[in-house]
Amino acid sequence: MSVPAFGLGTFRLQGQVVIDSVSTGLELGYRVIDTAQIYENEAEVGQAIAASGIARDQLFITSKIWVANFAKDRLIDSLRESLQKLQTDYLDLTLIHWPSPENQVPVEEFMGALLEAKKLGLTRQIGVSNFTIDLMKQAIAAVGAEHIATHQIELHPYLQNRKVADFARSQGIQITSYMTLAYGEVLKDPLIRQIAERLQATPAQVTLAWAMQSGYAVIPSSTRRANLQSNLLACNLTLSEADMALIAGLDRGQRLTSPKGIAPHWD
């Protein structure tokens, strides 16, 4: 897999909160950090990484270009600003965060600029996030599927996004699941709790293991050391085919994030 299966998300975490979360995560063994320009925490993430003393080549850092920076004369400059904040010369992965609202900047233009950033060495890999199948097809037409390392989408037991995931897989594009725990909703699910109890695991570990066994990368976040440590153990958990099938049956198309004016018409 071109994108590591397990990482640390930083959505909604800012200031000292994100510094503490990233610092603790790195101390516990996390080496994949996911941020974004719109999170307004890149500088704090960079501060925590710098203070950790961990060598850059041991880390995998992802950020995402915000919609205001999609124009070809703006995208690369904005990425350089992100690099400055993150105190690094390059990103391991740079994503287009959301599609351009009302196609103000054509897919071909921003994907072309992102590929140029890769050629300049500003990012090792590129990808997309929150795209529909049609938008993925446009991105593939613009730069080729071989240049799209991942597609990051909301994906959890209650929204399994199978059409999009299957199309990405057919093109050799990995899926990264965000909100894998559905803001904690799935942790209360009776079925997941039952599986967790039987396996002597936590509901979070079961859910994260389900996503990884499905072939998806995950980037859960937490501000609590105990949860950060516990979530890591999901990497060592194996679910049976029967348990995987039971969780597959929980899909109910429950989407938790769809910002007005930015979200596309979902598949």
Q: Where are the alpha helices (DSSP H) in 200-240?
A: 203-213, 225-232
Q: In one letter, which amino acid is 233?
A: L
Catalytic residue, from 39, 158, 178, 216: name it: 39
Is residue 225 a contact partner of residue 14, using CB atoms and an 8 Å limit?
no
Residues 6+ apart with CB under 8 A from 158: 182, 185, 186, 250, 251, 252, 253, 254
Other CB atoms closer than 10 Å to residue 240's CB: what's the count? 12
Residues 6+ apart with CB under 8 A from 220: 8, 9, 180, 181, 204, 208, 231
Map residue 249 onto helix, strand or coil: coil
Residues 6+ apart with CB under 8 A from 262: 67, 98, 99, 101
The question of whether 39 is a catalytic residue gets the answer yes
What whole-number distance in Å separates Cα of residue 76 and Cα of residue 73? Answer: 7
What whole-number distance in Å separates Cα of residue 122 and Cα of residue 181? Answer: 32
Catalytic residues: 39
